[in-house]
């Protein structure tokens, strides 16, 4: 009778919500995770239906395509041919083994050979589909990671839905046609975390160590595809560092830490781009040092430390002092250059590098506002803050924890570190989103397992409490509400993702133009600015120039030119090549004599060396006369409306980037982030209003205007507009411009409520460089009756004559 009564009491203690989470059928929960995965895969495939899978998006994916093609045709393990590739980084050539992570290309080549070629998919198509497959894999595996770590299926589903749809990670190079290293690396992380969780939670030593070894090997494999392997270094280091605060150092935990570290180190050391050096003079050094410290603390009672005044018994205070000393040593090592960190890491920490101007000019290295971060994954941050507080409270009350709880604590810390990093550097937004997706699920799991505290003894002086087997009802209700919030926002973001995917045409097909909203007779309409200016230019280079031609362009397009046109470039999307990029900046922002001298310095060959630049122009074609006036796309900025002070900046392409070129070339103060008020700006006025112009194509002072007009990159474009009648190659939606009687370059003198008022520019003739062809494509034409207003993407190609 007593057993039956106990069972009845136990059943009554289980409220409905706890029962739903703990005993939700495994098949049903996995089915939901699969449905979520299927939906996110479908959303990420939408651009394939609209724009195909034969053109990659962005810039960096093209070098992954080149590497994949290399391994596909030359052998998956053939690394020898990558040591000195003359197609890149003229005149020195590029050693890909030291300047790129080649594992991604090896994997795509293998998958194409063994699997996708059987379905008539080639290398570029396989690569285009890669981000969708990896995002889908990440979504489903993340469910199992969080479920196993928290013992809560709802927690697992929460993380899965957040990762599947929250835009911070969804839109960051993680959809079809846009294979990004971050998306690939995070998928490896999740798979690794599954084995790490199983290893830390297993009570069978051999099984646990096998899981941890596999988890370490998968995590270390990231060093073959992405620099984010350092995230794992940080995670392992924090686990070893913080574990003594959670549970007393012991042999079992030491062995687990050691095996995980060894598994991780093996592929990292074998990676051509990383190697053993990383564990000697890089962040990787932290792991062996911390393992030694942990081992000493584990066996303190067996080491005669009392002879040097240190207790032989482990004490938290001793460990704390070790951490303080370690931080001091680390600081000394960094500032004395014993340890080296990249500009990207320094910027994430809020430290402005003084030796690399380039890092200050890269868009991904710029900071992110807190409002942008919260728009991307704010609900996950809010829930994670609650979860972090609960975890700290739980660990303090419990006093002795487990390795899985140490892992939870570390994941929370990493998430908040990446939040700081993202505010300082937008590159980390996808990683921050990912870790907050994880911690949001952990928070729900912690709430669902938060136990009641009950009195076991109470006197006037003493009140003792113990943990009940029942879950705290209020915590359970809060957990459900927060889970609903995360999932609800996931549905909202999912719809936004669906809308965004309609406009994700490859950058090569839009020339990096954002979707434009136009007012039509039926209301506002968003237009994808498809054009073929760049495609035409790259085809011309491929089929109408010598195989030994050298193409000078800004580094952003180096991969397009080298990979698509198979022509040699000076620099490309790898910002490791800072010296070469500075030379490019000096050529493009110099006057014609300076640029010609630098090309001689590079041993470039006259009449076989080409300069290329592009931008977006606004134009008007007079239907009656055929006259065309064109000016670079203008941006109006209100500085002080009371004093009628405004700024006009130009361009969506190279003109927009030209200030960064000036900084890198030290033509302006490199640490001055604003292009206004330099010797490349000017002023125009109209009815008491002042317009600061950058670049200063018109206005005063005249010396600044002369500076601008005599700068190669600006002169190429202004002279190109003037010579468009003779050298224009009119492509998609620009055929009517063949009938133009004349082309005149202009700039915006001032702006009124009715529009821009252009002023014709007389360019300074460009010496040393002869026009070859100007590739024009119009994404938008609007016929007003008397004229056609249009947007043109123009790629200008000149030949250096010596």
pLDDT digits (tens, 9 = 90+) for 184-224: 999 999 999 999 999 999 989 999 999 999 999 999 999 99
Residue 339 CA to residue 346 CA, distance in Å, equals 13
pLDDT tens column, 651-669: 999 999 999 999 999 999 9
Asked if pLDDT for residue 399 goes beyond 80, the answer is: no
pLDDT tens column, 242-281: 999 898 899 999 999 999 999 999 999 999 999 999 998 8
Peptide bond preceding 124: is omega within 30 degrees of 0, i.e. cis?
no
Calculate what percentage of the chain has a pLDDT beyond 90. Answer: 74
Average pLDDT over residues 535-554: 97
Q: What is the pLDDT of residue 5?
A: 42
Length of the chain: 802
Residue 551 CA to residue 571 CA, distance in Å, equals 10
Residue 24 CA to residue 644 CA, distance in Å, equals 65
Write out the two tokens for 244: 């003594």
Asked if pLDDT for residue 693 goes beyond 80, the answer is: yes
Asked if pLDDT for residue 1 goes beyond 50, the answer is: no
N-terminal to C-terminal alpha carbon distance within the chain: 103
Asked if pLDDT for residue 537 goes beyond 90, the answer is: yes
Asked if pLDDT for residue 716 goes beyond 90, the answer is: yes
Mean pLDDT lowest among 105-119, 253-267, 421-435: 421-435
The widest CA-to-CA distance across the chain, in whole angstroms, is 104
DSSP class per residue in 114-135: HTGGGGT--HHHHHHHHHHHHH
pLDDT tens column, 458-482: 555 544 445 555 667 888 889 889 9
pLDDT tens column, 490-504: 999 999 999 999 999
Q: Is residue 624 within 8 Å of residue 741, measured between CB atoms?
A: no
Write out the two tokens for 280: 């000697």
Q: Is residue 733 within 8 Å of residue 778, measured between CB atoms?
A: yes
Please tell me which residue, 71 or 518, carries the higher pLDDT value: 71
Q: What is the pLDDT of residue 368?
A: 83
Write out the two tokens for 514: 């954002």
Selection from 41, 219, 69 nearest residue 129 by Cα: 41
Asked if pLDDT for residue 21 goes beyond 70, the answer is: no
Please tell me which residue, 455 or 400, carries the higher pLDDT value: 400
Burial class (CB in 10 A: 0-12, 13-18, 19+), 743: buried
The secondary structure of 167-182, three-state, reads HHHHCCCCCCCCCCHH
**Which DSSP helix (H) or strand (E) runs through 629?**
strand 627-632
Burial class (CB in 10 A: 0-12, 13-18, 19+), 605: middle
| Percentages (nearest 5) of helix, strand, coil residues in the chain | 55, 15, 25
Residue 10 CA to residue 4 CA, distance in Å, equals 10
Average pLDDT over residues 594-622: 96
pLDDT band at 629 (very low <50, low <70, confident <90, very high): very high
Selection from 766, 755, 688, 679 nearest residue 720 by Cα: 766
Selection from 373, 371, 387, 377 nearest residue 490 by Cα: 377
Q: What is the pLDDT of residue 120?
A: 96
Asked if pLDDT for residue 175 goes beyond 60, the answer is: yes
Q: What is the pLDDT of residue 474?
A: 82
Asked if pLDDT for residue 345 goes beyond 70, the answer is: no
CA 780 distance to own-chain centroid = 30
Q: What is the pLDDT of residue 616?
A: 98
Asked if pLDDT for residue 301 goes beyond 70, the answer is: no
Please tell me which residue, 347 or 651, carries the higher pLDDT value: 651
What angle in degrees, to the nearest 10, is found between the helix axes of 26-51 and 123-150? 160
Q: Is residue 799 within 8 Å of residue 767, measured between CB atoms?
A: no
Q: What is the pLDDT of residue 459?
A: 52
Please count the helices (runs of H) and the strands (runs of E) in the chain. 30, 17
User: Exposure pattern of 710-734 as b/e (b: 16+ CB <10 Å)?
Assistant: bbbbbbbbbbbbbbbeebbbbbbbb
CB within 8 Å of 541: residues ≥ 6 apart: 549, 551, 561, 565, 567, 610, 797
Q: Is residue 799 within 8 Å of residue 772, measured between CB atoms?
A: yes
Selection from 735, 756, 791, 745 nearest residue 686 by Cα: 756
Asked if pLDDT for residue 4 goes beyond 50, the answer is: no
**Which DSSP category does 575 fall into?**
T
Asked if pLDDT for residue 12 goes beyond 70, the answer is: no
Mean pLDDT lowest among 134-143, 163-172, 535-544, 769-778: 163-172
Selection from 131, 154, 156 nearest residue 40 by Cα: 131
**Which DSSP category does 257 fall into?**
H
Residue 67 CA to residue 108 CA, distance in Å, equals 9
Asked if pLDDT for residue 58 goes beyond 80, the answer is: yes
Note every long-range contact of 195-199, with CB atoms under 8 Å and residues 24 or more positions apart, other chains counting: 196/260, 196/407, 197/145, 197/148, 197/149, 197/404, 197/407, 198/148, 199/256, 199/260
Asked if pLDDT for residue 594 goes beyond 60, the answer is: yes
pLDDT band at 354 (very low <50, low <70, confident <90, very high): low
Q: What is the dihedral of CA 661, 667, 670, 676, to 10 degrees?
A: -80
Residue 527 CA to residue 443 CA, distance in Å, equals 41
Q: What is the pLDDT of residue 55?
A: 95
Across the chain, mean pLDDT equals 89
pLDDT band at 744 (very low <50, low <70, confident <90, very high): very high
Give the start-to-end residue ranges of the domains of the chain.
2-51+122-494, 533-544+577-800
Q: What is the pLDDT of residue 195?
A: 98
Calculate what percentage of the chain has a pLDDT beyond 70. Answer: 88
pLDDT band at 426 (very low <50, low <70, confident <90, very high): confident
Q: What is the pLDDT of residue 6?
A: 46
pLDDT band at 343 (very low <50, low <70, confident <90, very high): low
Q: Is residue 435 within 8 Å of residue 414, measured between CB atoms?
A: yes
pLDDT band at 455 (very low <50, low <70, confident <90, very high): very low
Please tell me which residue, 445 or 345, carries the higher pLDDT value: 445
Average pLDDT over residues 348-376: 73
Selection from 524, 496, 748, 758 nearest residue 627 by Cα: 758
pLDDT band at 374 (very low <50, low <70, confident <90, very high): very high
**Which DSSP helix (H) or strand (E) runs through 773?**
strand 769-783
DSSP class per residue in 671-734: T----SSSTT-EEEEETTEEEEEES-SSSB-HHHHHHHHTSHHHHHHHHHHHTHHHHEEE-TT-
Average pLDDT over residues 430-437: 96
Phi, then psi, of 241 in degrees rounded to 5? -70, -40
Residue 502 CA to residue 797 CA, distance in Å, equals 32
pLDDT tens column, 614-626: 999 999 999 999 9
pLDDT tens column, 26-52: 788 899 999 999 999 999 999 999 999
Asked if pLDDT for residue 143 goes beyond 70, the answer is: yes
Residue 734 CA to residue 643 CA, distance in Å, equals 41
Please tell me which residue, 307 or 505, carries the higher pLDDT value: 505
Q: What is the pLDDT of residue 11?
A: 41
Q: How far is CA 242 from CA 5, 287, 402, 415, 670, in A?
A: 44, 13, 11, 16, 41
pLDDT band at 226 (very low <50, low <70, confident <90, very high): very high
Q: What is the pLDDT of residue 462?
A: 47
Q: What is the pLDDT of residue 795?
A: 98
Q: What angle do CA 257, 260, 261 make, to 5 degrees?
A: 85
- Secondary structure E strands in 319-462: 451-458
Mean pLDDT lowest among 158-162, 461-465, 694-698: 461-465
Phi, then psi, of 457 in degrees rounded to 5? -160, 130
Note every long-range contact of 320-325, with CB atoms under 8 Å and residues 24 or more positions apart, other chains counting: 322/293, 323/241
SS3 755: strand
Q: Is residue 583 within 8 Å of residue 602, measured between CB atoms?
A: yes
């Amino acid at each position: 009778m007593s057993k039956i009564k106990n069972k009845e009491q136990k059943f009554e203690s289980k409220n409905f919500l706890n029962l739903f989470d703990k005993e939700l059928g495994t098949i049903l929960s996995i089915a939901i995770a699969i449905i979520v995965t299927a939906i996110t895969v479908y959303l990420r495939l939408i651009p394939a239906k609209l724009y195909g899978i034969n053109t990659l998006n962005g810039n960096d994916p093209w070098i992954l395509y080149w590497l994949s093609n290399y391994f596909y045709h030359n052998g998956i393990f053939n690394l020898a041919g990558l040591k000195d590739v003359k197609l890149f980084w003229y005149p020195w050539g590029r050693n890909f083994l030291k300047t790129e992570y080649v594992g991604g290309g090896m994997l795509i080549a293998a998958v194409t050979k063994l699997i996708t070629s059987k379905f008539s998919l080639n290398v570029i198509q396989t690569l285009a589909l890669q981000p969708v497959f990896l995002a889908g894999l990440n979504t489903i595996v993340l469910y199992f990671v969080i479920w196993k770590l928290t013992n809560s299926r709802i927690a697992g589903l929460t993380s899965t839905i957040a990762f599947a749809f929250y835009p911070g990670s969804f839109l960051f190079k993680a959809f079809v046609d846009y294979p990004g290293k971050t998306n690939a690396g995070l998928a490896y992380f999740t798979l690794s975390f599954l084995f790490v969780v199983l290893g830390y939670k297993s009570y069978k030593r051999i099984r646990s160590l096998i899981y941890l070894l596999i988890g370490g090997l998968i995590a270390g494999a990231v060093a073959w595809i992405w620099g984010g392997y350092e995230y794992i270094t940080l995670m392992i280091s924090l686990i070893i560092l913080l574990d003594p605060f959670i549970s007393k150092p012991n042999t079992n935990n030491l062995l687990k830490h050691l095996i995980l570290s060894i598994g991780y180190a093996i592929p990292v050391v074998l990676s051509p781009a990383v190697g053993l050096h990383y564990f000697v003079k890089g962040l990787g050094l932290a792991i062996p040092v911390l393992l030694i410290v942990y081992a000493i603390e584990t066996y303190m009672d067996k080491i005669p430390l009392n002879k040097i005044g240190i207790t032989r018994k482990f004490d938290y205070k001793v460990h704390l002092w070790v951490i303080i000393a370690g931080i001091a040593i680390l600081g000394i090592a960094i500032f004395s250059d014993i340890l080296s960190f990249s500009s990207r890491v320094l910027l994430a920490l809020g430290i402005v590098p003084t030796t690399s101007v380039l890092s200050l000019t890269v868009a991904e290295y710029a900071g992110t506002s807190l409002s942008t971060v919260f728009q991307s994954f704010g609900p996950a941050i809010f829930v994670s803050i609650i979860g972090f507080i609960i975890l700290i409270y739980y660990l303090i009350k419990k006093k002795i924890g487990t390795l899985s709880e140490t892992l939870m604590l570390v994941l929370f810390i990493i998430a908040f570190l990446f939040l700081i990093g993202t505010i300082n550097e937008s590159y980390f937004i996808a990683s921050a989103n990912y870790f907050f997706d994880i911690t949001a699920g952990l928070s729900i799991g912690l709430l669902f397992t938060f136990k009641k505290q009950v009195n076991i003894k109470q006197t006037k002086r003493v009140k003792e409490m113990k943990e009940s087997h029942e879950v705290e009802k209020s915590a359970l209700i809060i957990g459900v509400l927060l889970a609903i919030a995360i999932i609800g926002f996931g549905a909202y973001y999912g719809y936004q993702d669906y809308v965004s995917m309609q406009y994700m045409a490859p950058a090569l097909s839009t020339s990096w133009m954002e979707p434009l909203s136009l007012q039509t007779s039926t209301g506002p309409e968003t237009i994808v600015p498809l054009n073929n200016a760049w495609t035409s230019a790259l085809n011309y280079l491929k089929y109408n120039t010598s195989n030994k031609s050298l193409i000078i362009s800004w580094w952003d397009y180096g991969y397009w030119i080298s990979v698509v046109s198979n022509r040699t470039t000076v620099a490309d999307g790898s910002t490791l090549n800072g010296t070469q990029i500075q030379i490019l900046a000096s050529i493009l922002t110099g006057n014609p004599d300076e640029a010609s001298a630098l090309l001689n310095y590079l041993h470039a060959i006259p009449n076989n060396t080409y300069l290329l630049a592009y931008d977006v122009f606004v134009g008007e074609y007079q239907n009656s006369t055929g006259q065309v006036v064109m000016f670079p796309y203008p941006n109006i900025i209100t500085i002080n409306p009371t004093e009628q002070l405004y700024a006009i900046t130009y361009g969506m392409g190279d003109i927009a980037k030209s200030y960064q070129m000036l900084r890198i070339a030290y033509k302006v103060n490199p640490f001055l982030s604003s292009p206004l008020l330099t010797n490349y700006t000017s002023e125009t006025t109209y009815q008491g209003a002042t317009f600061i112009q950058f670049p200063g194509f018109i206005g005063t002072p005249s010396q600044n205007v002369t500076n601008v007009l005599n700068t190669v990159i600006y002169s190429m474009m202004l002279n190109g507009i003037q010579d468009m009648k003779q050298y224009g190659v009119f492509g998609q939606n620009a055929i009517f411009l063949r009938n133009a009687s004349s082309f005149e370059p202009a700039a915006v003198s001032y702006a009124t409520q009715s529009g821009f008022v252009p002023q014709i520019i007389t360019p300074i003739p460009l010496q040393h460089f002869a026009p070859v062809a100007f590739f024009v494509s119009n994404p938008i034409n609007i016929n007003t009756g008397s004229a056609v207003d249009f947007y043109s993407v123009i790629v200008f190609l000149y030949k250096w004559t010596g």
